Amino acid sequence: MANLQNNSIVSWVSPWLTPIVYFLARRFVLPFYFGRIEIEGQEHIPRTGAVIITPTHRSRWDAIVVPYAAGLHVSGRHPRFMVTSTEMTGFQGWLIKRLGGFPVDVERPSPESLEYGKAILAKQGMLVVFPEGGIFRDVNVHPLKRGVAKMALELISDHPELELRILPVSIKYSESLPQKGSQVKVKIGESLKVSDYQDSSIRKGSQQLTQALQTSLEQLNDQEQVKDLS
């Protein structure tokens, strides 16, 4: 994939590092650390067109669980990530950039971060955004930030030919702080077609799309408890 960059953001999918990291994570790290990983709904993952994956956020492990459930070996492409800017430091920041992650200020997203995300999607990419805006240790779906819907609607307003979908994903762990032997449950719902929420006002459309995504995530989240898997 060609590099995308502006004055403040540089990020790319390393052609050698990314496959190695995800291979090791899929074959060794996740199976070794977790007692059981169950995934449902992979048939809902779009194989073509631009996609925003919107998972619930319960642990830093989510950044590996999402590619495990919906990455290259399933969807045919590596997901890119919007990552909280405070996590983009040191070796971790170096690695994240080479795995396709880029920084965003959750409370005040910069125009540069949003435009960078739009550029990835305009190239038919797959972008992961955690719509709750942070990690929450309980089992509830928290109120979603409206920025995901707003960015999506602005993008298809500028690119009406673009097929853009939002994919809801519920991630649950059997413990609030995942530890060795914990169980993981990933449920992927039906995608939302962004163009269905276009309105004369982007503000109104984003409110409706955000509410639809909130409802989808709550329905996925409520279907069963991960502890019931044992």
Measured CA to CA, the distance from residue 89 to residue 101 in angstroms comes to 12
Kindly indicate the confidence band of residue 73, based on its pLDDT and cuts at 50, 70 and 90: very high
Average pLDDT over residues 96-123: 91
Contact assessment for residue 99 and residue 21, using Cβ atoms and an 8 Å cutoff: yes
Q: Is the dihedral angle over the CA atoms 155, 156, 160, 162 positive or is it negative? A: positive
Position 139 pLDDT exceeds 80: yes
pLDDT score for 183: 97
Rounded to an integer, the average pLDDT of 3-21 is: 79
Q: What average pLDDT is seen over the chain?
A: 91
Write out pLDDT tens, residues 147-158: 999 999 999 999
Q: What is the pLDDT of residue 224?
A: 58
**CA 50, CA 122: separation in Å to the nearest integer?**
7
pLDDT in tens, 95-106: 999 999 999 988
Does the pLDDT at position 221 exceed 50? yes
Per-residue pLDDT, 2: 37
Q: How confident is the model at residue 170 (pLDDT cuts 50, 70, 90)?
A: very high
Q: Is residue 89 predicted with pLDDT exceeding 90?
A: no
pLDDT band of residue 93 (cuts 50, 70, 90) is confident
- Average pLDDT for residues 31-39, to the nearest whole number? 96
What is the CA 77 to chain-centroid distance, rounded? 13
What topology does CATH give the domain 14-229? Glycerol-3-phosphate (1)-acyltransferase (3.40.1130)
Report the relative pairing of strands 4-5 and 50-55 from DSSP bridges: unpaired
Mean pLDDT along residues 102-120 = 90
